[in-house]
Structure 1
């Protein structure tokens, strides 16, 4: 679920635009969105200022593209995992495995969505709306999977899985990654077992 490059679409993206977004994906995640200035992005992307503004118009637009790209890629990955196997229980275990792999990967610096929410505290800001959309969509994917499993309380169980997901993503960055990974797996295993 780690995203290091823009999600490919059917539409061809100009190479300069792709380079700028690739640079933003790395720098915004590693250093923080507000810490990274336009001049640094232009320099590292090896584009001119005119090219930057032609493709994005402003840093705000690039930030929105950055967080939207992360949202789309993460949801595509999660949806693919829960449908990768006929048995939805296996799909949920694949989600847990993917989270554990992500938080244990070299260069993991925390959840990009939680980090973005911390930098944009106003819930009406477009970046925060994308973060909220991600969590709502994550909940929906999990609830639908739990419903397919005939879980007795799929909505409430999805709440627990989202909480475990966010908790593991945060705790792994600031605390004990091994304990966070184990706790995440326990919650997923318990919720799966409740489905009978």
Structure 2
């Protein structure tokens, strides 16, 4: 175990590491992970290769750090919505509106995790496992919220929600994002109505 030192900068990421991660995150999301090489990241971050490898032993470590930052941001946003203390259905509506806003934001290129899963299809890949861990957290979050409305069918309904969210994020960077988001939000409202009124068993029941 490393001893604690009375240093006001302790625990803070170095400027070079932050610059590397910010640069890699921007490029990975905009252009694709496999399309962006280490040389490009080093050049745009204005660091040496030695500096990069001191902070990230390999490109996969940098990819995992990128996804961890995206995961942290999404969880923080979701926690903020949940912390507002709204009824469960309204919390889901608020989360849906947040998703819609992200789809309509400048530079939107789809879901970072779905994009990464396409580039890392091997189930044993640490990147693929990071994608699955994020998605499992999101599914469990929606399931818990739906279970507060009624327990029966909470997970199938949550899977339906995630499916609609995935479709909206995929279509949102290909077609008119405003129209896609309107369709997505109407779908969420319909799902909530059907879920609250029936014994929900899956998308076919809606």
TM above 0.5, yes or no, is: yes
Unaligned runs of 5+ in 2: 1-9, 198-206
> Distance in 1 between the 2:133 and 2:14 partners?
27
Match of residue 68 from structure 2: 68
Give the aligned CA root-mean-square deviation in angstroms: 1.6
The change in CA–CA distance for 1:83 and 1:160 in structure 2 (over 3 A counts) is: farther
The change in CA–CA distance for 1:131 and 1:144 in structure 2 (over 3 A counts) is: same
> Distance in 2 between the 1:170 and 1:79 partners?
24
Note the alpha carbon deviations across 1:9-62, whole angstroms, 9 max, x for none.
x93111110110000110000011011111111111111111111111111110
Whose radius of gyration is greater, 1 or 2?
2
Q: Equivalences for 1:77-96 in 2 at 5 Å?
A: 77-96=77-96
Match of residue 138 from structure 1: 138
Q: TM-score, normalised by structure 2?
A: 0.85
Instruction: Give the superposition deviation at 1:151.
Output: 5.2
Q: TM-score, normalised by structure 1?
A: 0.89
> Distance in 2 between the 1:72 and 1:14 partners?
19
Q: Are 1:195 and 2:196 counterparts? A: yes
Aligned length: 187
Q: Equivalences for 1:47-126 in 2 at 5 Å?
A: 47-126=47-126
